[in-house]
Amino acid sequence: MVAINAKYVHTNIAVRYISRYCLQKGLDCSFCEFTINEPQNNVLAKLYEMDCDVYGFSCYIWNIDYVIKLCKSLKKLRSEVRIILGGPEVSFDSEDLLKKYDFIDYIICGDGEKAVSNLIADMPTTRCVIYGEKLEMEELLFPYSDEDLKEIRQGEKLVYYETSRGCPFSCAYCLSSVDAGTRYLSMDRAKREIKHFADNGVMTIKFVDRTFNADKNRAKELFEYCLGLGGGTCFHFEVGADLLTDEIIDLLKKAKPGQFQFEIGVQTTNENTISEISRKMDTEILSRNVIRLKTETNVMLHLDLIAGLPYEDFQSFKKSFNDVYRLCPHVLQLGFLKLLKGSALRKKAQDYGMKFSDFAPYEIFSTDWLSFDDIIKLKAVEDVLERYFNSGRFYDTLDEAINNFDSPFDFYSKLSEYWKRNNLVGQGVKRISLYSHLHEFLKMSVSVESLKKIMKVMKNDFSKWHSNGVGTPDWYKMY
């Protein structure tokens, strides 16, 4: 089983589940991991030298092109091997893919554990699509061996872990809505396995449950359990902020700095958009809860927005941005709609006038509400937001600077225009140079008195991250 991960620190839970399930059935199965940044010929050589009879690849929007090229080369070198593809990126147009790529032997749609083991045990002579059978969570073995956890700890990698599969919600942009119902791991087993991670010194456990707190009582019990564990493990959850109760937020006050991270998909605050994408979310409660989390707990908050959703034009997105920015998250991710295969939005793309890339990750170009010119502007805003706000190096400076603009979005929009004029968008820029560029932009944008106030704050931010000795930038000496 082969995983091609997006980054070195990532781990792939799918190939671990499947290989352990196959081993349990007496089949000779193992897994290996690479990243999309590794030269393909190096990966190809390693797979070739493994000399396996069957290779199975876990496919996603970020690795599908890499996987297809790799499989074609592998089949040329070892024509006798069987190649299996599985994962969300091949589960919704599998018949077409088999016709298009004659070097692929089998495609598995949906859950892979039982499907792969049955396929390997009794391999058909003809190429075909196989539909996976859903197993109860208790039927799955714990996916990480002690040796595996040792390597993960030494490599300072993330562990991906799930206590449930499926999602009770039906958001039109998401594939989780396709999988009806939610299956849960027993509470005792979930606690036992989480403790095993902590006892083995795992740095970060990233729970991949689609909405971890969909079952509020279950979430509360597991939050409480994680809070009580010793060690320095960080627990990362994807949560619905509007589903958090006052009781849970009070409980989270016990979290130590760095212990809990919440990823919260706000996506938009446009009520028409929320309704159109079948999203169930109370923005008023969400805002109140995020503010409480930020002011009363040590939970790290990562909030997401999606540009390109139905009924969201440029002005509407500006409002969504300002609404979420003013909640003061630690990280604000400005993402762009991806029309995933199998998603409800992709099926209705024509109705919304959506133009998007034919190639993974199928990112939006334009809609009836948002032009490609608008997308280009928002891409530049994303660039400066990532470099300044999400770097965590300019928090106080940004707070002071934004007071001189009509709104947070106006600040980032004008800053992005400066970056475009100077051909900086998407280019490599040294961290230390970010301060000088911000200074140059502010010199043109605010009064002299305001600039002095901002620079005084920026000197403090700068000194937290950089030496004030030799090499002190010119702007630093001016104020």
Residues 276 and 294 both lie in one domain: yes
Residue 288 maps to a domain: yes
**Terminal Cα-to-Cα distance of the chain (whole angstroms):** 59
Handedness of CA 341, 345, 346, 347 (dihedral sign): positive
CATH of the domain at 212: 3.20.20.70
* DSSP category for residue 256: P
Residues 388 and 289 both lie in one domain: no
Q: Which residues in the chain come in under a pLDDT of 50?
A: none
> What pLDDT does residue 63 have?
97
Nearest partner of 411 among 379, 430, 388, 436, judged by Cα:
388
Nearest partner of 317 among 377, 243, 383, 392, judged by Cα:
377
Neighbouring C-beta atoms of residue 8, cutoff 10 Å: 13
Residues 380 and 318 both lie in one domain: no
The pairing of strands 204-207 and 182-184 is unpaired
Residues 349 and 207 both lie in one domain: yes
pTM comes to: 0.94
Residue 20 maps to a domain: yes
Residues 365 and 379 both lie in one domain: no
Distance CA 70, CA 66 (A): 6
Half-sphere exposure of 271 (CA within 13 A, CB side): 3
Residues 74 and 162 both lie in one domain: no
Helix-helix angle 395-402:408-421, to 10 degrees: 100
Residue 348 maps to a domain: yes
Which residues in 240-267 are b (16+ Cβ under 10 Å) and which e? bbbbbeeebbebbeebeeebbbbbbbbb
Q: Using an 8 Å Cβ cutoff, are 290 and 302 in contact?
A: no
CATH of the domain at 130: 3.40.50.280
Residue 223 maps to a domain: yes
Nearest partner of 441 among 428, 422, 460, 459, judged by Cα:
422
> What pLDDT does residue 231 have?
85
Residues 115 and 149 both lie in one domain: no
Among 107, 134, 161, the domain boundary falls at 134
Joined together, the tokens standing for residue 206 give 């990233």
Residues 330 and 410 both lie in one domain: no
Nearest partner of 241 among 280, 197, 287, judged by Cα:
287
Residue 139 maps to a domain: no
Distance CA 255, CA 249 (A): 10
Distance CA 2, CA 26 (A): 19
Among 76, 101, 134, the domain boundary falls at 134
> What pLDDT does residue 330 have?
97
Q: Using an 8 Å Cβ cutoff, are 279 and 248 in contact?
A: no
Q: Using an 8 Å Cβ cutoff, are 363 and 357 in contact?
A: yes
Triad 371, 373, 375: Cα angle to 5°: 75
Residues 23 and 101 both lie in one domain: yes
Distance CA 183, CA 247 (A): 25
Residues 362 and 401 both lie in one domain: no
Residue 476 maps to a domain: yes
Q: Domain range holding 74?
A: 2-134
Chain-centroid distance of CA 451 in Å reads 37
Residue 255 maps to a domain: yes
Among 351, 369, 387, the domain boundary falls at 369
Distance CA 476, CA 479 (A): 6
* DSSP category for residue 394: -
Q: Using an 8 Å Cβ cutoff, are 289 and 249 in contact?
A: yes
> What pLDDT does residue 189 have?
97
The pairing of strands 2-5 and 54-58 is parallel
Residue 343 maps to a domain: yes
Distance CA 382, CA 463 (A): 26
Element at 136 (helix H, strand E): none
The amino acid occupying position 312 is: E
Tally of structural domains, the chain: 3
Residues 329 and 182 both lie in one domain: yes
